[in-house]
Structure 1
Amino acid sequence: MTAGAVVVAIAASATTAVVVVNQSGHPAPVAQVSSPGLTGKPSLPTGSILGQPGAAAPAGSVEQVSAKVLPSVVQLKIQSGQEGESGSGIVLSPDGLILTNNHVVAAAMSGSDDLAPSAPSRRGPLTNLPPGILPGEQLPGDYQDGRDGQVPNGNDRRSTRPSAHTGDGVKATVTLADGRTVPFTVVGADPDDDLAVVRAQGVSDLTPISIGSSKDLKVGQNVVAIGSPLGLQGTVTTGIISALGRPVSTGDDQSGQHSVMSAIQTDAAINPGNSGGALVDMNGDLIGVNSAIASLSSGQDSQGGGQAGSIGLGFAIPVDQAKRIADELVSTGTVRHASLGVQLGSGDDMPGAVVAGVVSGSAAATAGLPKGAVITKVDNQVIDGPEALVAAVRSKAPGDAVTLTYADQSGTSRTVQVTLGESAT
């Protein structure tokens, strides 16, 4: 069976995960990129990052959307010794709650550099996350991620893991849309879904973003992406939704963190540093959290030159999933993940996800899903491989009811209603 997922690694000083696709079209894992070749210190846009009042711009225009959303998007920076990373964040509350990607703030959660590495936690609370940052962990030299950390040696491509506390010498700050810079602390993080919530300290007057919905999005509709690519805060780009329900796997074998998301694909320019930033509709409502970009393998374009930026393949976590996870992190510090309860096998180029086994007592077993079934749809979402099924289930919450379409061993198409359970890990 052909895997349907694009492989992504994690992204942050400019922070965005980068999907690396080799020339044959097959996915490949990714590692961290060295600092961008910008000279000097990026400054806020001339005339204020806030833009002009939305009422002065044509309704539904990019200008109006920008004026509405820019005050609600911030830049997150983490400095540890000579290393620096940054990414973007989305304001959720006046008192400083900010949504971002887990990979943006992983370094802010790390302990001291000499702590021994350990396997990453599969779920919150934050106190269950392992201590440690892996300063010398080497990743394959041909790959890049969009974390774009500023490291002394551009060949020293480092990977971070979350930890329970901010270590000595780690400085975590957020630069607000009005130019103020204040410290932030991590409220909670979910490596499985690559999401985190942080709190800006000492603020009470922030502008929360307007939360939309990802339920009824359409391919082809116009969108706007806002973030801090390459440290350039308040950057606005435009595009369309290119695809929905795109299975994208994030992570790498070296860091040990892996995730699969059912992503919104967009051609709006997204670059390292956009991770954690906003993808909004033309009403200025949040529809996704920008999290990953695709890049050609080995950092090469078709002419053999460097290619670490946008090539029109960006991926965002749908807001319905992101908001649910953020609410759980804030209220309980933990995230509950949905479970179908099946083991997946290969299907010899057959489209769909082959059920190699059904876990006793699981949601699938309770619903009567048989071993050997080939799942081809979850509700109306086409499942073309095991990664697509994992992504579709991950986008749901425990207790959600879904309709599975599958082919039984005789090839007959059938449907079954399944109430998803809760993952034990």
Structure 2
Amino acid sequence: MTENDPSAHDPAAPRQPEQAPQQAAQGGWAGHPYGDQATPESGGTPQYSAPEPSYHAVTGADPSYGPPNANPWSAQGAASGQTQQSVYPNPNPYAQPGTSVYGAPPAQPKRTGGKLLAGVALVALLVGGIAGGTVGYFTGGSSHGPATNALDAPKPAQQTGNAPAGSVEAVAQKLSPSVVELRVSGQQGAGEGSGFVISTDGYILTNNHVVEVAANGGQIQAVFQDGKKAAAKIVGRDPTTDIAVVKVDGVGNLTPVEIGRSDDLRVGQPVVAIGSPFELAGTVTSGIVSSLHRPVRAGGGSGGQETVMDAVQTDAAINPGNSGGPLANMSGQVIGINSAIYSPQSAGGQGQGGSESGNVGIGFAIPIDQARRTADTIIKTGQAVQTYIGAQVTDAPQGGAKLGAITPGSPAEKAGLKPGDIVTKIDDRNIDTSDTLVAAIRTRAPDEKATFTLADGRTVEVTLGGQPVPAN
């Protein structure tokens, strides 16, 4: 690539779980039903456009249990017909059979009725106590009154206050009116994605891969939160960074977003994503910033240019249709454009030829600082400008980015870089692959100065260049 275009079961035996098959990994645009295969930054060629994964339930035969044990409390031998013998000896071996060893007790004198009456009274008292306790038991259960039913309770007071500041609810209330569903059609197919309003006169920021199918005579319809619909046209787009601007005319009361910054994001910071996954407009999800400066490569097939983005990784749910929608901080400021998702390849699935992929908690957004600069250039000139150094680049076996052919007169040549040089760092950022180098360059502005550290220890200061991006 170039830097510029890059059965029964014994209960006593342990059960063995079935092993689920390992799945290969692929990934894809978050909402590009007609797009191209993608290749990630390193370690093979997983792709960023894939069918959704198949889910396999882990099953196994239940153990067969044997008949229950005999009652341990039953008399042993009763079923065998054996006669039970007493364990106690005969107390009088000289007595006749059937006679007792003990003499008859002497006759007792008759007693008067005083103690008998007392005994009867005692029995009556005990019986009365038992009866009283029984009556108390049966009547005590009804001493709590009638049963209560939650359905009979009145509704709680209706929520009337504003959402707590810094909550997902507050972000959704602030940002949702600015998020737009984009329905796109063209000769290559049709699809839908998202975007967000950046000006009161109708400019909308989105992804290039959302609208590119309509680039040559296709149609774009913008659907706003209040149900209004309007035709939109492409102002300009940049396939290398996957950024595009479209515009609607004749639509009033538009609410632009508040644009934040992405250069001070922190891993673990909470974020909110809004968009139209699977045509479910206005869907709000939340998560955190999972990683920063993640080089992600996507696109590049069917004659299109490759996108290499210096992405913000998030676990906020992003699905097909979220592309082009905003990723926001908890102040409701847009800090990224949701663009791509990573999806494991399902069994038998091959790229986007299979069913659509879905969220697995790994999504990527274009940093808003880069998107803001590109969108501003597009609105002012109708064309994006790409930051470059003018050198081919490949992965170095020992790590880093190895420079190939140098374009005459390019920033790389002017800085003294040579073919074979291996870049290991730009300023304070380590460079471990060619994609990392490309992403680090493209996220910067033309005319910025950067210090390249080479594998041999040399440092070279390079003034980055800018060149127009052909939107084929």
* Alignment check: 8 A CA contact 1:31 1:252 kept: no
Using structure 2 for the length normalisation, give the TM-score.
0.65
- Among 66, 73, 80, the residue aligned to 2:172: 66
Closer, same or farther in 2 for the Cα pair 1:263/1:313, shift >3 Å?
Answer: same
- Among 324, 340, 351, the residue aligned to 2:373: 324
1:395 offset after TM fit, Å?
A: 1.2
Aligned-partner Cα distance in 1 for 2:302–2:314 = 28
- Report the counterpart of residue 420 of structure 1 in structure 2: 464
1:339 offset after TM fit, Å?
A: 1.4
Q: Deviations over 1:319-345 (max 9, x none)?
A: 011111111111101111111122324
Closer, same or farther in 2 for the Cα pair 1:342/1:75, shift >3 Å?
Answer: same
Residues 264-275 of structure 1 aligned to structure 2 (within 5 Å): 264-275=312-323
Does 2:232 correspond to 1:184? yes
Aligned-partner Cα distance in 1 for 2:367–2:284 = 19
- Report the counterpart of residue 340 of structure 2 in structure 1: 292
Larger Rg: 2
Aligned-partner Cα distance in 1 for 2:287–2:37 = 18
* Count of aligned pairs between the two proteins: 335
Aligned-partner Cα distance in 2 for 1:256–1:263 = 20
Does 2:265 correspond to 1:217? yes
Aligned-partner Cα distance in 2 for 1:342–1:266 = 31
1:421 offset after TM fit, Å?
A: 1.4
The DSSP-based 3-state class of the residue aligned with 2:458 is strand
Greater shift in the superposed pair: 269-278 or 75-84: 75-84
The one-letter code matched in structure 1 to 2:254 is L
Using structure 1 for the length normalisation, give the TM-score.
0.71
1:87 offset after TM fit, Å?
A: 0.4
Greater shift in the superposed pair: 65-74 or 413-422: 413-422
1:107 offset after TM fit, Å?
A: 2.1
Does 2:404 correspond to 1:333? no
- Report the counterpart of residue 128 of structure 1 in structure 2: none
Does 2:181 correspond to 1:75? yes
The DSSP-based 3-state class of the residue aligned with 1:337 is strand
The one-letter code matched in structure 2 to 1:335 is A
Closer, same or farther in 2 for the Cα pair 1:418/1:299, shift >3 Å?
Answer: farther
The DSSP-based 3-state class of the residue aligned with 1:107 is helix
Q: Deviations over 1:48-82 (max 9, x none)?
A: xxxx99x7111111111111111111101124599
Aligned-partner Cα distance in 1 for 2:252–2:268 = 38
Aligned-partner Cα distance in 2 for 1:110–1:82 = 10
Q: Deviations over 1:114-161 (max 9, x none)?
A: xxxxxxxxxxxxxxxxxxxxxxxxxxxxxxxxxxxxxxxxxxxxxxxx
- Among 424, 436, 442, the residue aligned to 1:388: 436
Greater shift in the superposed pair: 261-270 or 377-386: 377-386
Aligned-partner Cα distance in 2 for 1:192–1:8 = 18
The DSSP-based 3-state class of the residue aligned with 2:385 is coil
- Report the counterpart of residue 136 of structure 1 in structure 2: none
- Give structure 2 stretches of 5+ with no counterpart: 1-5, 7-24, 53-158
Aligned-partner Cα distance in 2 for 1:389–1:196 = 23
* Alignment check: 8 A CA contact 1:78 1:105 kept: yes
Aligned-partner Cα distance in 2 for 1:312–1:335 = 31
- Among 359, 382, 406, the residue aligned to 2:407: 359
* Alignment check: 8 A CA contact 1:18 1:293 kept: no
* Alignment check: 8 A CA contact 1:16 1:271 kept: no
Greater shift in the superposed pair: 222-231 or 70-79: 70-79
Q: CA RMSD in A?
A: 3.1
Closer, same or farther in 2 for the Cα pair 1:347/1:361, shift >3 Å?
Answer: same
Aligned-partner Cα distance in 2 for 1:339–1:268 = 32
Aligned-partner Cα distance in 2 for 1:235–1:15 = 22
Residues 14-25 of structure 1 aligned to structure 2 (within 5 Å): none
Greater shift in the superposed pair: 361-370 or 285-294: 361-370
Aligned-partner Cα distance in 1 for 2:43–2:346 = 13
The DSSP-based 3-state class of the residue aligned with 1:390 is helix
- Report the counterpart of residue 423 of structure 2 in structure 1: 375
1:256 offset after TM fit, Å?
A: 3.1
1:261 offset after TM fit, Å?
A: 1.1
Aligned-partner Cα distance in 2 for 1:313–1:368 = 39
1:403 offset after TM fit, Å?
A: 2.0
- Among 382, 385, 407, the residue aligned to 2:455: 407
* Alignment check: 8 A CA contact 1:278 1:290 kept: yes
The DSSP-based 3-state class of the residue aligned with 1:95 is coil
Aligned-partner Cα distance in 1 for 2:316–2:407 = 41
Residues 101-120 of structure 1 aligned to structure 2 (within 5 Å): 101-111=207-217
Does 2:291 correspond to 1:247? no
The DSSP-based 3-state class of the residue aligned with 2:175 is helix
Q: Deviations over 1:371-410 (max 9, x none)?
A: 43321222232211111111111112211112222222xx
